[in-house]
Amino acid sequence: MNDRHFQRPQPHWDWRAAGNFVCGGAGAGLALFAALCAPAPLLLPLALAGMGLVGLGLFFVWLEIGRPLRAPNVLVHLRTSWMSREALAAGVLFLLGAGLVAGLMQPAWPIAIAAAAFLYCQARLLGAARGIPTWRHPLTVALLIVTGLTEGLGLFWLLAAWAQPPLVLALPFAALLLARAVLWRLWRVRLGRDAALPALRAIDANAPFLQWAGTAAPLAALALAAVTASMPALAATLLALAGLLATAAGWSLKYMLVTRTGHQHGFSLPRMPVRGVPRTAPVKE
């Protein structure tokens, strides 16, 4: 009997857990690209905006805790828990942000490292759910990381396009959009082997928005921005639109992934134990 028909949704992670992945991943990506790419006048506001999103995501997690006052205990399992490592990376990121505000973070590349560590730990947190096929798949971790980077660069363009950063930065944005689309396709194909049917239907329902509004439209906007580079206002509007669409598609994907595809793996007994029948003999159905 195929157990994928009997997988049940996990009952614990809801919109609050999704909020951590939605805000935390995008915020870490924004802080990373702010540290690496932002013009000097925009470094502080963009980095703080990214850290604010990370903090908002952790606030959603705090809302989900049964005993909120025991939240500091999350740091006691660093050797075994990706949630503990995520919290530690967030703490380091916030300390570096405080140093940036105080004028002590020059250069700002340590912020990029801390943001990348947070993003990696968060992706591994979902990938460690061994009982849920859609989460435990190895490509899920890669998809979450690339999606967070895409959202971060999308927010970068949404917030900084009118400051006219070098248009060459649109090239990695296009590369990330394509990488996310390819990873998503590979992930969807391989999930078809053992994921729950309701989970696959939720993924397929979200697919048109990701493919068209979240990939094709931003790529078209980036191409038009390159063509209209001589008209800065129009080019900035197109870049901001591309960033908005790419980020919205990533948020939709992650919200769907956490809240609608978390079906726990059932179990199957290919050989039923029967008294008097050798273990090596298959059971007739």
Our measurement of the distance from residue 278's CA atom to the centroid of its chain's CA atoms, rounded to an integer in Å, reads 49
User: What domains appear along the chain, each with residue ranges and CATH number?
Assistant: 3-264 (1.20.1630.10)
10-residue block means of pLDDT along the chain (285 residues)? 60 90 98 95 96 96 71 71 92 96 87 98 93 92 98 97 92 98 97 88 97 98 96 96 98 97 67 60 48
Q: What pLDDT does residue 68 have? A: 61
Instruction: Characterize 5-40 residue by residue with b for buried, 16 or more Cβ atoms within 10 angstroms of its Cβ, and e for exposed.
Output: eebebbeebeebbbbbbbbbbbbbbbbbbbbbbbee
pLDDT at 283: 46
pLDDT value for 154: 98
The residues facing 263 across adjacent strands are 9
Beta bridge partners of 8: 264
